[in-house]
Structure 1
Amino acid sequence: MTGRSKKPAPGARLAGLITSAAEETPTSLPLTDIRTGAAHQPRRRAEDANLQELAASIRVKGILQPLLVRPTASGYELVAGERRLRAAELAGLTEVPVLIRELTDAEALEAALIENLQREGMEIIDEVDATLTLVANRLGIPRDQARHRLMAQRTRDAQAEDLPELEALFALLGRGTWQSFVKNKLRILNWPDTVLAAMRDHGLAYSIAGIIAAAPTEHQAELLAYALTKTSKAQVRTRAKTLNPPKSRRIDRQRTILMARKLASERWLASLNDQDEKELEAWLKKMPERIRQAVEPGGA
């Protein structure tokens, strides 16, 4: 009996297109022929200082890695390489090297996500959002469903269904395993929406966001407003401690230990007279039930 041919995994064609880019000679296109598509750009923020540094490097060395574009009816749409395009404009270039790909909307989105995720310096919230979008795209399910399916990674059924695709995808990204992504990064989506919004829209640092997310709910708004005034991690941590000081112990630990030693001393107990013993017995009967059970013979 002849076996059926194996169906290519979703994204296999795109992976081949991306990995073959190093062997292809790029084409030059005028900057005016390339339009950007915000929907394909995973990085929400690009600091001006970093762009200036990249522009200075481009003036000396040129663009070392071509941009990825796809043809449209009105020219070409940028798929990956927005920072290089903006830096090229700052550097005064009129043309840039590009690789032209015939890509569907889904493939263009994946190419942009993969290209950015394979680079360093991506904000962690952008990385989490981009990776989750990529996983959802590969599995053909909504983002929320992809998140829940990843969180259920320890169940045998979830692993059996998704494991081959997830392993292939994360191997392509080169950013560790999908299990480590779930354990160390995906969990930040459980943080308050206001904290996540500040990370996405205002560049709130991950380390500071973690301090705010761990604070009592009633203090988070104040801490967030304080953090957005460009304060440091140390300053935010100090403010958090000020708003939520450690509770003072209601029990005098040293006095309690001394009392326990006295009650355990047969010599001290033998020194009590009849009246002292009656008062001690009456006092012991007033102990809370939990403490009484703990001190009774055989108690925990």
Structure 2
Amino acid sequence: MRVATWNVNSIRTRVGRVVDWMVREDIDVLAMQEIKCKPEQFPAQAFDDAGYDLAIHGLNQWNGVAIASRLPLEDVEVGFPDMPGFLKGHDGPDLPQEARAIGATVDGIRVWSLYVPNGRALDDPHYHYKLDWLATLAADTQRWLAEKPDLPLALMGDWNVAPLDSDVGDPTIVQGVSTHVSPAERSAFSAFEKVGLTDVVRPLVPDGYTYWDYKQLRFPRNEGMRIDFILGSKPFADLVTGASIHRNERKGDAPSDHVPVVVDLDLAADEDDDDRPMIFG
């Protein structure tokens, strides 16, 4: 099985690119972020013609997540159970939830498409919302793994965190000034490793960015960031046989500012096969 994540930055604008890439690269499951449309506005026919089923969660022209799969999508879940909401200028419980998370099971693999809040600025309420959102997801993930320790689980998407200094090539991103690299955000990201997940791509693809701003020739100068990740449980990580970051999808006409991140899974892998890459640390 070939599984991928991609912040498409408006699926209606880029449906041709996305579907063509999926078919060309033989993608079985794609987690999409920033679809920027309601389900009824999603260009579903192009996916249907290519043989993909869809699970879609979008509320307006902002945010939005979806999963496309060649195999049946089962147990679709919109939002994780305790996901916090956000409304500028308001605090407290019961705030409206944004379209940032959708989960589904595909051939026994539990996948989530996640669009982590940006944070905007270190002194912005959205930054605290981001930290709360990540902490709540980590707590829910810990519970999922405790309830089903053998579950192959993958949290995929645009995490809006660059966990290592080597993940930042954009000179405008400065520690102590910018979001995405603050100690609190990096700690929130590392919490997922503590509850039992691991980055299944980095051990196989140690270098490379996944996002480049459209401004100031960031892509030609390779001044990007690595903020798109696939984090997997041990049962998921044990299935991974390969990984790749598809940098060339940032080229050409009207690209997204993010590129796809892909992992290959061997669903028939024998747990005793010592020839498989060891990527769970």
Work out whether the TM-score is over 0.5: no
TM tier relative to shorter chain: under 0.3
**Structure possessing the higher relative contact order (Cα contacts under 8 Å, 6 or more residues apart):** 2
When the two structures are superposed, what TM-score results if normalisation uses the length of structure 2? 0.26
Which one has a larger percent strand, Structure 1 or Structure 2?
2
